[in-house]
Copies of this chain bind each other. A is one copy, B any other.
């Protein structure tokens, strides 16, 4: 399936398109960071991002859209722009009759790295590994958008959200994806050689 992931933002909006096979292998189709200048007013900034998003949807025709779920408890200075972009993205997807799924940052981290509190560097490294890229996609918004798309497909389109959130809270190797097992093994090796780390494995 082809999934478009969106890391919503008014200044930088990451958009990643990934093809994911039933066996969970994933291939990068495109990744873009849409930007809008801070000196434009908000309506025009939203329009810029919306137009960019529509062009990507038009070009790559994904089957689903995965969007980061934004919480009101997040950083107050950016939350409104993020929520506004999310609304715009959902409207654009709805008007194309595309299913939209929301995933929380910790759901994405858990799906991609096996660890719900992984940092941006770990997520980026794992995204590069999953997609067979030589370098980690930059900026972080790009990697996050790709992670969202992969997470969406791997979680079965978001329908298993409740169960997987539980298993992420008390993880064992059983039920992990190959990528999660690989990551966990790598973490264990790193921990063994570099002393204690703050990971809750």
Contacts and interface: CB of A to CB of B under 8 A. Distances in A.
A170 interface: no
Interface in A64-83: 70, 72-73, 76, 79-80, 83
Contacts of A93: 43
Interface residues of A, number: 25
A112 interface: no
Contacts of A182: none
Contact of A84 (B42, B50, B86): B86
Interface in A43-96: 43-44, 46-47, 50, 70, 72-73, 76, 79-80, 83-88, 90-91, 93-95
A166 interface: no
**In the complex, the 9 A-B pairs of residues with the closest C-beta atoms, listed nearest first:** A84-B87, A83-B83, A43-B94, A87-B87, A43-B90, A47-B94, A72-B76, A43-B100, A46-B91
